[in-house]
Each structure stands twice: as structure tokens, then as C-alpha cells.
Chain A
Amino acid sequence: MDAFTTLTAVAAPLPAANVDTDKIIPARFLKTIKRSGLGVHLFDALRYLPDGAERPEFVLNQPAYRQAEILIAHENFGCGSSREHAAWALLDFGIRCVIAPSFADIFHGNALKNGILPIALPKAVCDALMADAAMGGNARITVDLEREVVIRPSGEEISFAVDPMRRHFLLNGLDDIGQTLQHEASITAYEQTRAAAQPWWPAIPAL
């Protein structure tokens, strides 16, 4: 995972609530066995006409937003399935930060594990950032994870909070598994205690 420290970028406004993972990436694109290459299918139904041509009205098809690295949306972003392909598609397109009043739980976790920063801010603040984003290429928003502030084009700073452990992992681009394996002795001890106290748990047999 790439570290996330500070990002200054164009933000794309996506003024919709309940942007679900089927909308972010439809299931028919989940047949890949790779993490990369999904950006072209990001928001497929919103972005393309049935014949494959771009819908010119969709925000990410507009020249000002083709290089957007921040997305501003309404409540409950990422609801629906657990597909991490939603995070991979956003990342592959170039989105490194999503700002919304709230996020669905599984998407929130998937984003953090892929170096995408989901920032939950009050609705009124998101509305202000949505208005900033509507200025297109003329406005850049800065996200500073070190200081936990979003800096509007006007220079106004808005504080946000990220779980301290996730922040540490993001700032340093750390791998979760490597960290957990440092607790190997605890895991083994737990397994032994459980097996002694509840010996009746069955194993899945080799089939």
C-alpha cells in the first residue's frame, strides 16, 4: 500500500446519497483475478452509454475532473457489497480521498487498506466542499493527514479525525498482516486455551 501523507488535488462533486458498490463497479467486472486495471470500469453505468461512448454530462468525463483525486459525495457512500474492487477501481482511476457525511462500514475499511482516505465530515461542511469542487480545475483542495485538516481553496482549514492506528498505517504505508504477525505468540496462546477449554469444536475435514 502506498503511504498517504498530503494530497493537493482537484475534487470531483458527486452529489448523490447511497452511492452503492454496484454503482462504483458493477458485478460483471468482478471476474478479474487482479487488483489493477479496474479504473476504466469505475462508475460504469453513470460514465458510459450502453454503446460504450462516454456520457459527457458525468462529472469524471468532464475535462476539469478527469484528473480528480478527491471525490465529494453525500451520505452512506459505498453501501452494499463487500467487494474491495470498489476501492481498487477508485484507486486505479486515481482517487485517493473520498469526503462524505458518512460511509458504509465495509467500504470504509476497504478504502483504508488500499491507501484511500475516507473522511467523514458534517453535512454542511461537505456541502461547502461540494461547492468548492464545483469550481472545477480552478479550485484545489488539500488533505493533510499528518495534521488531520482539509484546506479549502479559500485557505480555511477544517479538522477531521482518523482512527489513530489507521492513520499510523496510512502515513507509513504499513501492511496489516505484517503487524498482526508480530502478535503470533498471542494467537498461538489463544488457540491453545480455546482448544483446552472447548475441545468439542469440530475442524472442517479435508473434503
Chain B
Amino acid sequence: MTQPQPLPKTLFDKLWAAHVVETLPDGAAILFIDRHLVHEVTSPQAFEGLRAAGRKVRRPDCTLAVADHNVPTSPGRVGAEADSILQLKTLEDNVAAFGVPYIPIDDPRQGIVHVIGPELGASLPGMTIVCGDSHTSTHGALGALAFGIGTSEVEHVLATQTLIQSKPKSMRITVKGRLPAGVSAKDLALHIIAEIGTAGGTGSVIEYAGEAVRALDMAGRMTLCNMSIEAGARAGLVAPDDTTFAYVQGRPMAPQGEAFDAAVAWWRTLPSDPGARFDREIVIAAADVAPMVTWGASPEQAAPINGGVPNIVTADEERALEYMALRPGQGIAGAAIDVVFIGSCTNGRIEDIREVARVARGRSVAEGVRALVVPGSGLVKAQAEAEGLDRILTEAGFEWREAGCSMCLGMNPDRLTPGQRCASTSNRNFEGRQGPGGRTHLMSPAMAAAAAVTGRIVDVRELV
């Protein structure tokens, strides 16, 4: 009698199976959560719920809190609005009352939750990671199952360190070949979303694979996984490899020494087995990817820089074009911009700021353009300053600011005013996202830098 061969498993299957506490009668799982990242905006009502029910935080040692969405990023952090101050104070009161590890605003390690998790080694391969923020998908770049949750689920994780979840479907996007010179992970992400749509990944966990993905550094992988939610996906994943382990090694909250070696031995077993089946497979040719810019009010409304708005548009696209003050058939290159925003959990890492400085060096921000550079964390800021990047940027006329979410979402003082057109390295171009009436064009850091120094949307490959 021959033994049946175990079915080949995907990375996602393995991560899921390793965290199932119990399978419920209807098939849903109680899933153990290894890391819960908490910020000021989606947690107050969760702590309030715990208090009302007389519950404690079950695992403070698996929880890390930081304020990022609502903090002013002006030099010296001046200008916080009164309701923001109340929300920040509420987080401080809650972490103190419930004994949750917290990085204060004036701590050099403060920053955007999705930047600091990997940076500090709090987010690790093989983990389940959640946060009350949809861009938690970022941490999937490490080979962790990471997804955003609502406030009721934040409360559920605080109280039980678990979530009740039905297993999502699996999707693999294989990017064949190498990305052309001057094309970044952000361009790849926008290319994929334009292809599969903002609901293309709904109900699925996407694993990114192929030569072009393997060639990305960790910052690029984080950008790619970050944007998974803009394709509607529950999470994005990149299999952990030597690039991952080299990134993790030595980070302050990561395992050290023999513990690190033991961890790597397990992490090496996680990549999808040969022959593993995915519910859906998509193949992208890296050679087809060009610098991308969004023209509408949804991340799927994107085109290569040498392309433009479609000639024939749907009713929804027509409304988006009216909002963006653009016409069907119009080319995307050449549009004059008012503001440049460089930062966010998508593109606020040191690698992104190096790209911007490379374009900005020896050039000046175009007249009439306001250009903000907002490091993703205090440590990114310090690193950039150690490399002299802040001087290159400020000499070119960029504002060099404190870490935070800033103009990605228009809930702190950094906002567009009605009608302003912005070249942004953030993740959402929804109507009003960066401020009421603001017009957002998503693009890569290099493309945003090129827009800053020319005052227009241009192909950065023509500048450098």
C-alpha cells in the first residue's frame, strides 16, 4: 500500500494552518494573532468597549501602539487641532491603563505603524499581523499573513488575541522577467491594479511571485504588498528568502543569535511548495510595466506616463474626470501640479527618500509648487539626515518634515485645498482623500520628484 503524498501547500496555506486555534462548526477558524499594531484613530472605541465589559488586554507582549495618522508633521510638531490632541491623549491614557507597549510621539522610533513594524523587527516572517488599518497588507512583504481590521475586531484581538475568520481564496500574481530601468515597485503595483481592478483581489490573499518580485528589495516588496488592498485583496504576500532574512537580522525586536537561526530554519519551510494550487493565477510581463500615473479617483484608473485617459469612459469614470478636471482621451503627461507629497506607508522608507534625492540633486522645486517630504518614521528621518539627503532636499526647496501619515489621508493639518492638483506617492486617489476637492495623481517617488522639479507630470526617465 502506498502512502498518499501530502498535497502541496501554498505559503498562505502554511501561514493559515500554523495559526488555527480551533475550527468552528461552520468552517470558520479562530485564528491566533501574533502581532497587533494599534494606532490612535481606530482604537479609542475598542478600549472603551473593553472598559465597559471589564475586560483586559490578553497579550500586551504581542501588542505595539504608536500614534501616526493624526500627528502634525510640521517641524516641532506644532499646529495640532484640538480634537486631534484629545485622540492622541486618549491613546496615551489607554496604553497606560491597559499596559500596552507604546512608542511616544517624541521617541525617535515613532512613525507610521506600517513602517515601524518591520523596521523595529516587531513584524516578522511567519506571523499573523493585524492592525485597524487596511494598509496592514504591507507587512506581507516579510512573508507574514497581515491584514487590516475594523475597530470591533481590534477590540476582539485585544480581548482574545484571536480573530474569527473564514479562509480567503488564494491568488498568485507571477511577474516574469525584470522590471525595466526607471520602473519601480509602485509602478508595478499600479500596473497590476489597472489590470485586475480595485475589486480584482476581493476575498483573496495575493502571493506575488516571479523573477521581478524576487529582485525587489524589502522596501519595494512592502510597497507592492501595501497596495494589495487597493486591488481589494485581503492581504499580499511575498515568500521569505535570503533578502528577507538579511533585512530582519539584527533588528531590535527580532530574535537574536541562536533564536534567529531557529526562526530562519522554520521560515525557510514557508514558501509555496512546487505544484501548489492557487484559486486564481495571473501572469504579468515585467517588460510591459512603465512608470504609472493615476488619472481618476480610483487606483485602477491609472495609465502609463506615455498613455492617458481612455477615449471612451463609463459613467463612473466620467464623474471621476469631472472631479479631476480632465477630459477623455487626454494624455497624462504635461498636467501642471500644485503640490507634491512624498511619504506614507506606501513610499515613506529610506529607499524612497534616496530616490527622491537622486532626482532632486542639483535641481529646484518649480515655482509655485509646494513639495513635502515626510519620512515614514523617526529612524528613516535620522538615516536620511545621516546621509545628507535632507540637505539635498531642502536646498532644492522641498519641505523636510516630521514622521507621520501626513497628506496621505487629510486628517491632520497637511491637506490639499479645493482644486489643488497633487503628485503623490501615497496609495489612494479617492475624491477628497487628501483634502476636500483635492485632486490626487498617484505615482512613484521618482516620478513625484520629477513632478516637483518640473511643475508638471513628466516621465522621470527623461530627466535622469
Which residues of chain A have a CB within 8 Å of any CB of chain B? 16-18, 20, 22-23, 26-28, 30-35, 45, 50, 74-76, 79-84, 87, 102, 104-106, 109-110, 113-114, 163-165, 176-177, 179-181, 183, 186-187, 190-191, 194, 198-207
Instruction: Determine the chain B residues whose CB is within 8 A of the CB of A183 once the complex forms.
Output: 21-22, 30
Flag whether B63 is at the interface (Cβ < 8 A): yes
* Segment of B7-15, B78-86, B213-221, B239-247 engaged in the interface with chain A: B78-86
Contact of B150 among A84, A198, A203 (CB under 8 A): A84
Residues of A within 8 A of B409 (CB): 22, 27, 81
A115 to chain B, nearest CB (A): 11
Say yes or no: B32 contacts A194, CB within 8 Å. yes
* A207 and B26 within 8 A (CB): no
Check B430–A106 contact: CB distance below 8 A.
no
How far is the CB of A89 from the nearest CB of chain B, in Å? 13
- Chain A residues with CB under 8 Å of B42's CB are 82-84
Docked CA distance A189–B28 (Å) = 19
Q: A31-B87, A75-B199 are in contact. Are A180 and B164 (CB under 8 A)?
A: yes
B198 interface neighbour in A18, A30, A33, A35, Cβ under 8 Å: A18
Q: Is the CB of A202 within 8 A of B254?
A: yes
Task: Tell me if B280 is interfacial: C-beta within 8 Å of chain A.
Answer: no
**Do residues B30 and A80 form an inter-chain contact, with CB atoms below 8 A?**
no
> Known contacts being A81-B134, A110-B152, A183-B30, is A204 close to B62, with CB within 8 Å?
yes
Question: Which residues, 140 to 190 on B, are CB-close (under 8 Å) to A?
Answer: 148-153, 155-156, 159-162, 164, 166, 168
Given contacts A80-B134, A104-B199, A180-B156, contact A23 B44 (CB under 8 A): no
Q: List 5 A-B contacts (CB under 8 A).
A: A20-B298, A31-B83, A45-B431, A204-B62, A204-B63
- A33 to B63 CA separation, bound complex (whole angstroms): 20
CB distance from B401 to the nearest CB of A (A): 18
Q: List, in ascending order, chain B residues with CB within 8 A of A181's CB.
A: 159-160
Whether A33 lies near B45 (C-beta < 8 A) is yes
6 tightest A-B CB contacts, nearest first: A33-B44, A203-B61, A200-B259, A27-B411, A84-B150, A110-B150
Complex contacts, A17 vs chain B, CB 8 Å: 316
The minimal Cβ–Cβ distance linking B109 to chain A, given in whole angstroms, is 8
Knowing A23-B430, A102-B202, A200-B262 touch, does A113 contact B152 (C-beta < 8 A)? Answer: yes
Closest CB of chain A to B321's CB: distance in Å? 14
Closest A residue by C-beta to B265:
A200
The chain B residue with its CB closest to the CB of A29 is B411
CA distance A28 to B137 in the complex (A): 23
Q: Which of B335-343, B366-374, B432-440, B447-455 contacts A (4 or more CB under 8 A)?
A: B432-440
8 Å CB contact of B433 from A22, A31, A194 = A22
Q: Are A84 and B152 also in contact (CB < 8 A) when A22-B428, A180-B30, A181-B160 are?
A: yes
Give 18 A-B pairs besides A31-B411, A84-B152, A201-B34 with Cβ atoms closer than 8 angstroms: A22-B409, A27-B410, A45-B436, A75-B199, A76-B198, A82-B133, A83-B150, A84-B42, A84-B150, A102-B199, A109-B149, A163-B26, A176-B152, A180-B160, A191-B161, A198-B263, A203-B61, A204-B64
Which of B83, B266, B298, B428 meets A198, CB within 8 Å?
A: B266
Contacts of B298 in A (CB 8 A): 18, 20
Q: Does B101 contact A (CB under 8 A)?
A: yes
The reply to whether B152 and A114 contact each other, CB–CB distance below 8 Å, is yes
**Contact between B263 and A176, CB atoms less than 8 A apart:** no
- A-B contacts counted at CB < 8 A amount to 200
Q: Report the minimal beta-carbon distance from A122 to chain B, rounded to whole angstroms.
A: 15
**In the complex the two chains form, what is the Cα distance from A28 to B133 in whole Å?**
15
User: For residue A105, which residues in chain B have a CB less than 8 angstroms away from its CB?
Assistant: 168, 202-203, 232, 234
Q: Which residues of B contact A26 (CB under 8 A)?
A: 410, 432, 436
Residues of A contacting B161 in the complex (Cβ-Cβ under 8 angstroms):
187, 191
Q: Which of B63, B198, B263 has the most chain A CB atoms closer than 10 A to its own CB?
A: B198
- Tell me the nearest residue of chain B to A184, going by C-beta: B160
Contact with A along B407-430 (1 / 0, CB 8 A): 001110001001000000000101
**Which of B60, B70, B101, B153 has a CB less than 8 Å from the CB of A113?**
B153
Measured CB to CB, the nearest residue on chain A to B62 is A204
Question: B263–A104 contact, CB under 8 A?
Answer: no
Rounded to whole Å, the gap between the CB of A120 and the closest CB of chain B is 11
Do A106 and B164 contact each other (CB < 8 Å), given the known contacts A33-B45, A183-B22, A200-B263? no
A177, B155: Cβ atoms closer than 8 Å: yes
B22 close to A80 (CB less than 8 A): no
B271 at interface, CB cutoff 8 A:
no
Contacts of A163 in B (CB 8 A): 26, 28, 166
Minimum CB–CB distance from B50 to chain A (whole Å) comes to 9
Question: Which B residues are in CB contact (< 8 Å) with A31?
Answer: 41, 70, 81, 83-84, 86-87, 411
Whether B24 sits at the interface, judged by CB under 8 Å, is: yes
| Complex-state Cα separation, A55 to B55, whole angstroms | 44
| A179 to B53 Cα, complex, angstroms | 14
